[in-house]
Structure 1
Amino acid sequence: MTAEQLKELEDNLWKAADKLRADSGLKASEYSTPILGLIFLRFASIRYGKVKEEIKAELEAQKNSRNQLKEEEIALLKCGFYLPPEAEYDYLLNLPEKTDIAKAIKKAMELIEYYKPELKDSLPKDEYFKLYTKDDRSLPKSLLKIFKDIPEDVTGDLFGKVYEYFLGEFALAEGQGGGAFYTPTSVVKLMVEMIEPYKGTLYDPACGSGGMFVQSNEFVDRRRAELRDEDTKDLMVYGGEKDTETVKLARMNLAVNGLRGQIVQANAYYENPFDSYGRFDYVMANPPFNVDDVNYDRVKDDRRFNEYGIPKNKSKSGGNKQAAVNSVPNANYLWINLFATSLKPTGRAALVMANSASDARHSEADIRQNLIKSGVIDCMLTLPKNMFYTVTLPATLWFFDKNKCRNQNLQDLRMNKILFIDARNIFRQVTRALREFTDEHIQNIATIMRLYRGENHRLQEL
């Protein structure tokens, strides 16, 4: 699906759903959760439908086996979740008009959570009863009909994109402005192609809707045949996210895309649920930029944040010296430290960072110098403007590679070098306010990176 087709789909779905909301008199805050649950259910049914025949065939093949697996066990292996008949979208859609649809949807969500404990308490259930009014119980069924228009051939992180589009529209409808920040798929694809997370562990401490994980999984699927390595599917993902509702989204996104891993609610500045120091093969993230209220005293002794130096604190008293709280002046370099220290000695990282971090002065400059001296920074790439859906801001991609610091051959080739790529003029104009990388752009940039790494044979493969 092209960006234009996706935009048209999003607009049409939103207009139809919002018209029903307006007719019902419900507030956007009362409407958003059940809507997002139905979007998940639609995408889950689409994904499950693609492997349903395989599941049946495997069940038939094992019929006389001593160690025969149950249908739900086969489904979990092939799809990552199991949809019993009562939880399938078309089943709900085709129920008689007089059926208690809210009750049926609740049962469907409960069944999904039962067979997928990782989703426990993540799916909306009782919210569908709130769509009933005294005189009208048709709204849940009408919404099911609207989201049936999501086509069967959708792939990748479209669930996350459609979900976040609706999240932003609901926020605007409530007067909050903006909506959730979303990393464009083409940017994530480039990050994935540059660090190539084939297998192992992948960490995103600010995972949002889980888009980084989905694109990494798609990369593994695309390259598996080329690698001829059955273990490449063995990718475990770990995500932290501060917002409760977004944690639920990320868990749904992992489930609908068949990913293995764990998503937890955590504030990365003060919580370390995965004991991240030196643990992960890959780190990918798009953290919040320019946060200025992180408590300095709570992070100053945390080795995740101080290995390369910590931004000097300043006093924020609000005119009251007695109430002064030491805070980090800008948390950008806390995140940069976190990404570097979370890597194994052979690990790679890719992160989106505000342009201002590239030439920040004072204590940030000292940290940047320490990072450069350590050899961990491998590449920096400036992005074009207008690459993001909800905000217009200049950003840079940072790439780390700890392996070049310990591998003698890589030390000789790249130890004292950093590859700089100016991609500000590489883009395709999607709309007046939005740009993206094409697949050709992504492959060309990734080829530059591979040649820089000395992987000349990769050029011949193209």
Structure 2
Amino acid sequence: MSTNLNQRLFNAADSLRSKMDASEYKNYLLGLVFYKYLSDQLLQTVVEQAGELLKEYNSLEKQEKLYRDFLEDESTKADLIQTLKDVINYDIEPDYLFHHLAKQAKQGTFQLNDLHKGFIYLTTNFEQFEGLFDDIDLTSRKLGQDDQQRNITITEVIKQLDEIDVLSHDGDVVGDAYEYLISEFASSAGKKAGEFYTPKMVSKMMARIVTLGEEDRKIFSVYDAAMGSGSLMLNVKDYIKDTRNIKYHGQELNTTTYNLARMNLILHGVDNENMNLNNGDTLNKDWPTDEPYLFDSVLMNPPYSAKWSSDDSFMEDSRFMRYGRLAPKSKADFAFLLHGFYHLKDTGTMAIVLPHGILFRGGAEGAIRQKLLEDGSIYAVIGMPSNLFFGTSIPTTVVILKKNRTDRDVLFIDASNDFEKERNQNKLTEKHLDKIIEAYTDRDFKDKYSYLASFDEIKENDFNLNIPRYVDTFEEEEPVDMAQVGAEIKEIREEQKQLQKELYDTISELTYSKEDEDWIKGALEVFKYED
């Protein structure tokens, strides 16, 4: 399925790539994939609610006809629309269904205004879709200089996307589509992409860690204050048995990405009542401040070493005041960490991805790190391989934090050498993930991989958490066999001598003119040899 998804996205992107930057055309592609999902889900729901078998209605064409038949019958129309609103929380008029628009596209009768009407219908009638399609500007001159050209452009995109079976996609269709787009077109779409998309296996590792021992919880809350596409916190559902009562809380500064997260949660069947998302600046103003504002887990992959105001007024902010210093203006890493940690319950676990500099930099960062260590807040430090994240090749670290610990020891795991190289990106496998989780759970010494450092050891190291100080991964080189090296050198010299003789003999046998005589003599002098 992923091959089909990727190929169709690539073909659809072909229609847009020459017209706009990849960071713009991915908004069109992802928005249209989402609209197709809503349309196809509605048709499948109609079949199920009618008590029909999907295998009997195994095409969108048949499903659309069934939908139209119900709506044309006045005795069933009202009940069906109400059922759709109860089950999936929306309905779409048949003429605005993605499949219907795709049919028109293939017949050359598609009208851009019909797609626009479909967007307007959803956003004005259903609160959860408000503003969700704002980034799909169907009037943009980048799609074409006039209505006809814009119509042609979107027609080609819709024809490609119609072939994607979004309902049977095994995984996170928006996340997978987004990951493919930013990796395939990294030169433009991938810039700073690590800020709003965490690779799948890293997300899974973090989600597994924060849910350890919580699998049977009836209600479980997760918070991501830099949620990007929302895929990081959505991984929690794979490790909590009762997924119906997971509460998702997230904030995102970028409006486009905020809308992407909303799409992603809706696609994963998250009810509106379990979704509390905000479009705002996490550091500038605390959120959430109303109940609930403490969470069972906190997951974050914030922008690395971002700038922030670091204004003195923040020393009165509950998130930062107990640490005595503020993160420097040029590096907001600890500001994000402290924000997330403030919103963690006393019984919860936090996992955050940050650059390695936070482990050893001095100044204000050193003071904050020391306070966290003195409080016993840092539970584990996991060193990740370089080149895992889109848009940056730097190695990262995942820091695990907990509150109210009786011990102040810190587990160090060096997983930096465990990865598979795929094209231009490194990737973790399930085997690598299991190894990290095993070391995290055992919380013990594993040669050249993990080490449990006492608070006194860390204090002796001036509260420096640089992983090589604690995990020795040095591999001693094998002794050099000097006799073998000598023999190899002798063999090379013999080969060189033989080659020199052959060259001398070859040049000596050449026939040459008077004007080449000096050149030939010079060459013979160079390759002259002694028996």
Which category describes the TM-score, using the shorter chain as reference length?
0.7 to 0.9
Which of 412, 417, 420 matches 2:409? 417
Residue 84 of structure 2: aligned partner: 72
Normalising by structure 1, we get a TM-score of: 0.76
1:194 paired to 2:209: yes
1:205 paired to 2:225: yes
Residue 389 of structure 1: aligned partner: 390
Residue 280 of structure 1: aligned partner: 295
Residue 109 of structure 1: aligned partner: 119
Equivalenced residue count is: 404
Residues 125 and 379 of structure 1: CA distance in aligned 2, closer, same or farther (over 3 Å): closer
Are the equivalent residues in 2 in contact too, given 1:105–1:125 (CA < 8 A)? no
Counterpart code for 1:261:
M
Give 1:390 shift.
2.0
Are the equivalent residues in 1 in contact too, given 2:327–2:334 (CA < 8 A)? no
CA distance in 1, matches of 2:207, 2:28: 32
Which of 425, 447, 450 matches 2:441? 450
Segment drifting more, 289-298 vs 388-397: 289-298
Which of 231, 239, 243 matches 2:254? 243
Residues 9 and 73 of structure 1: CA distance in aligned 2, closer, same or farther (over 3 Å): closer
Which of 414, 426, 430 matches 2:418? 426
Which of 134, 143, 156 matches 2:157? 143
CA distance in 1, matches of 2:35, 2:133: 9
Q: How does 1:4-403 map to 2 (within 5 A)?
A: 9-10=5-6, 12-13=7-8, 15-21=10-16, 31=25, 33-45=27-39, 53-57=47-51, 70-76=82-88, 85-95=94-104, 97=107, 99-114=109-124, 116-124=126-134, 127-130=137-140, 131=143, 133=146, 135-136=148-149, 137-152=151-166, 153-163=168-178, 165-166=180-181, 172=187, 181=195, 182-196=197-211, 198=215, 199-220=219-240, 224=241, 230=242, 232-259=243-270, 260-275=274-289, 279-311=294-326, 328-402=329-403
Are the equivalent residues in 1 in contact too, given 2:224–2:250 (CA < 8 A)? yes
Counterpart code for 2:236:
S
Segment drifting more, 199-208 vs 89-98: 89-98
How much is the aligned-residue C-alpha RMSD, in angstroms?
3.5
Q: Deviations over 1:356-402 (max 9, x none)?
A: 10112122222112112222221111001111122101100011122
1:440 paired to 2:431: yes
Q: Deviations over 1:384-434 (max 9, x none)?
A: 1111122101100011122x62xxxxx3xxx23222111112222222x21
Counterpart code for 2:428:
F
Residues 348 and 91 of structure 1: CA distance in aligned 2, closer, same or farther (over 3 Å): same
Counterpart code for 1:249:
L
Identity of aligned residues (%): 24
Q: Deviations over 1:317-367 (max 9, x none)?
A: xxxxxxxxxxx3521111121121111111111110111101121222221
Higher relative contact order (CA 8 A, sep 6+): 1
Segment drifting more, 193-202 vs 164-173: 164-173
Residues 83 and 374 of structure 1: CA distance in aligned 2, closer, same or farther (over 3 Å): farther
CA distance in 2, matches of 1:70, 1:330: 52
Structure with max Cα Rg = 2
Residue 324 of structure 1: aligned partner: none
Residues 445 and 47 of structure 1: CA distance in aligned 2, closer, same or farther (over 3 Å): farther
Give 1:27 shift.
7.2
**For 1:208, what is the secondary structure of its paired residue?**
coil
CA distance in 2, matches of 1:208, 1:363: 28
Residues 110 and 435 of structure 1: CA distance in aligned 2, closer, same or farther (over 3 Å): same
Are the equivalent residues in 1 in contact too, given 2:323–2:368 (CA < 8 A)? yes
CA distance in 2, matches of 1:332, 1:126: 33
CA distance in 1, matches of 2:323, 2:409: 19
**For 2:289, what is the secondary structure of its paired residue?**
coil
For structure 2, the residue ranges without an aligned partner over 5 or more in a row are 53-74, 445-531
